Amino acid sequence: MSTSASVGISDLSFATTHYALDHAVLAERLGVDRDKFYIGIGQERMSVAAADEDIVTIAAAAAKPIIDRHGVDGIRTVLFATETGVDQSKAAALYLHSLIGLPNAARVVELKQACYGGTAGLQFAAGLIARDPSHKVLVIAADIAKYEIDTPGEPTQGAAAVAMLVTADPSIIALDPQSGLYSADIMDFWRPNYRTEAIVDGKTSVNAYQKAAEEAWNDYRRQGGRDLGDFAAFCYHQPFTKMAYKAHKHLLESQGRTAEPEAIEAAIGKTTTYNRTVGNSYTASLYLGLLALLDQAEDLTDKVLAFVSYGSGAVAEFFSGTVVSGYTEHLRTEANRAAIDSRELLDYDHYRQLHEAQAPVDGKYHATVSETSRPYRLAAISGHKRIYESV
């Protein structure tokens, strides 16, 4: 296996919303057994944004612990991956300056390609650091997944942000240089500018995901990537956790492997626990799976992990990395679990009220109801400007 300068992830931090909806509540409303969601799609709860939360507030909450631990020295680039941006022109990451103290001497941009955007940010960061190993890149993946009420997509909503500090000589994951790619123009999931909810063709999307994962793997092998048996675990993008199981089964069978349920569970089971209760977080989903694995697995030192990133439309990437010795000293396991456990459970009426709320468009001053207990909130929208504050 050829090697190059070690580049990868030195810190990971996660945040989610103030509220959560139990799928049992949704099941009761729809008149179905809760196991249709708990077992059928592998989802038990989903995070729901409070009236004063958006991708900026949860991204800031995810990024601040990294800034607090490492400072801003050397951070020359900030990449914010999202498909639920708050502005068609201004990068969401620029709002973070006043909230968490990002450096002025940095390039700050927003990236978009459905759920793949976080991986684009990670790979772009690795390339920048390979050019100048003294630089650090802050990559943030944050999204709020929203679908129309009473549609098949509704149970797969969710919200979360994952922030990653990408550096040379990483402390958690050292990325392999090989990467497998696949792109195709597919209308499986999209959200036109005039809509607040995404449109999804569920069957097409599942099939597109599986084909993309297989093709990205084939390209990874053509680039000199590792053997399928080299990986200790597989981290997949999880629009719903059952999708990870489907994708891994398909990948194994496409390579002539026997897809035994026990082997699949061993390969991906621990990666699904956070996503099962947070729901779909689009760009953050894959990396929330990584966090769940690192927080739960026995010692992964020197173990090789596989990453399968998919973004509808569609772009996929298969890449890999090795867990670095001493990685557990850099994890935030207690904070990650607290972020999930501290959410306030919603009743259906409150959830529906939040779901149907519309952003003002008249340019007047609109104060936002104070709800969140998280570190940052959207305080108001005034003159078409978003005003944020610390809680």
Active site residues: 83, 115, 237
Per the CB < 8 A criterion, the answer to whether 308 and 159 are in contact is no
> CB under 8 Å to 2, separation ≥6 — which residues?
177, 224
Best CA proximity match to 239, nearest among 171, 304, 289, 176: 289
Q: Is residue 327 part of an annotated ligand binding site? A: no
What is the 3-state secondary structure of 315-339?
EEEEEEEEECCCHHHHCCHHHHHHH
Q: Is residue 299 part of an annotated ligand binding site? A: no
DSSP state, residue 272: G
Q: Is residue 33 part of an annotated ligand binding site? A: yes
Q: Residue 196 CB: number of other CB atoms within 10 A?
A: 12
Best CA proximity match to 278, nearest among 240, 304, 242: 240
Q: Is residue 275 part of an annotated ligand binding site? A: no
Instruction: Dump strand ranges (E) for the chain.
Output: 7-15, 19-22, 45-48, 75-81, 107-111, 136-145, 158-168, 173-183, 189-190, 199-200, 233-236, 304-311, 315-323, 344-345, 366-367, 376-382, 385-390
CA distances from 226 to 53, 259, 266 (A): 41, 19, 19
Binding site, by residue number, is: 33, 147, 246, 280
Binding residues for (3S)-3-hydroxy-3-methylglutaryl-CoA: 33, 147, 246, 280
